[in-house]
Amino acid sequence: MSKVVVTPRSFAAHSDEPMQILLRNGCEVSLNPYGRIMTKSELVSMIGDADAIIVGVDPLDREVLERAERLRVISKYGVGTDNIDLRYAEERGIAVTVTPGSNTDAVADFTIALMLASARKLNEIDKACRQRNWSKRTTVDMHKQTLGLIGLGQIGKAVARRAAGFDMRILSFDRFRDEAYAAQHGIVYTESMDEVLKEADFISLHLPLTDDTRHLIGRAQFALMKETAVVVNTARGGLIDEEALFEALHTGRIWGAGIDVFEEEPPRNTSLLELDNLVIGSHCAASTVSAIDNMGILASQNLIRYL
């Protein structure tokens, strides 16, 4: 019998199929008992004799993996692998799998929701109305504005399809171009990221977190943006320098931001929590019933395939 550790708290929350896949294949399953992201020491205590793990954003660095002597497969519940030491996993011959496409639509929907909420100041309006303040607030449009996508992978493309319904002009910067898709959907690739930052009314990030992309958006990049710009990040915390983000929002350098991912969650800079022009998510863009079911089923199938 193979021992499997499962850390995502939403695993099999709405459908028992992900769990049944594991049980039907003779797995002994240990679930995250903490109701939150696990610490390194907590992971070490659970995976010492595990054959496989289904992991969310819990830290699987070398220090943790060295203690998992029997581990054969890491099945990522999602697609981002910045919490996993891929190099060490490869050295050990530990397979690493992801669940591409399982949460694409959920994240794309949430991205659009953050754009609208930020542009139309829904936080501020809702707060005022609860205080019986019915005064009008002038906001900015999404319709026929320019959307800049930094990264045009599956989720970026899904956001672009939704933005077409707002008659938006769409720009994108990506090292890897899908010219056919761009041509079909009227997306214009730019030669530099700076072009997107200068021209776009809405800027949405859809990149993995790597050494090259860490703090990709900082003070210099915010300085290029329009004062009416809205920045959205549903990709990975760390793509944006959070000190620079606070300054840009606090001083009115940009209109607003919708941020679902932070370097630490909750964010280390608690001043961010006090800003009315920041709409905050709890890393929940992928948390819909369908996406959770899809991720769980695919993560379990990937794990069994490799075991």
For 120-164, the pLDDT digits (tens) are 999 999 999 999 999 999 999 999 999 999 999 999 999 999 999
Query: In the predicted model, is pLDDT for residue 1 greater than 90?
Result: no
Omega before 266 within 30 of 0, i.e. cis: yes
The pLDDT of residue 54 is: 98
Q: To the nearest whole number, what is the mean pLDDT of the chain?
A: 97
Q: Is 236 marked active-site? A: yes
Other CB atoms within 10 Å distance of the CB of residue 28: 13
CB atoms within 10 A of CB 140: 17
Overall size of the chain counted in residues: 307
Ordered by start, the domain boundaries in the chain are: 2-102+289-306, 104-280
Same fold, 2-102+289-306 and 104-280: yes
Indicate if 175 belongs to the active site: no
Look at the pTM and tell me if it is higher than 0.85: yes
Catalytic residue among 42, 199, 236, 242: 236
Task: Tell me if residue 253 is catalytic.
Answer: no
The CATH label, of 3.40.50.1360, 3.40.50.720, 3.40.1010.10, 2.120.10.30, for the domain at 104-280 is 3.40.50.720
CB 70 within 8 A of CB 51: yes
CA angle 255, 288, 214 (to 5 degrees): 50
Please state, in angstroms and as integers, the Cα–Cα distance from residue 301 to each residue in 18, 25, 26, 78, 98, following that order: 8, 10, 13, 13, 11
177-202 pLDDT, tens digit each: 999 999 999 999 999 999 999 999 99
| The listed CATH number (3.60.70.12, 3.40.50.720, 3.40.50.10490, 3.90.650.10) that belongs to domain 2-102+289-306 | 3.40.50.720
Where are the extended beta strands (E) located within the chain?
A: 2-6, 27-31, 52-55, 73-76, 95-97, 146-150, 169-173, 187-189, 202-205, 230-233, 256-259, 278-280
Q: What share of the chain is helix, strand, coil (3-state, %, to 5)?
A: 35, 15, 45
Q: Select which of 72, 162, 214, 283 is catalytic.
A: 283
Report pLDDT digits (tens) over 274-285.
999 999 999 999
Residue with the two structure tokens 């009227």: 186
Q: Which one, of 168, 154, 62, 147, lies nearest residue 106 by Cα? A: 154
CB distance 99 to 298 below 8 Å: yes
- Active-site pick, 70, 265, 268, 274: 265
> What pLDDT is stored for residue 221 in this prediction?
98
Token output for 90: 């490869």
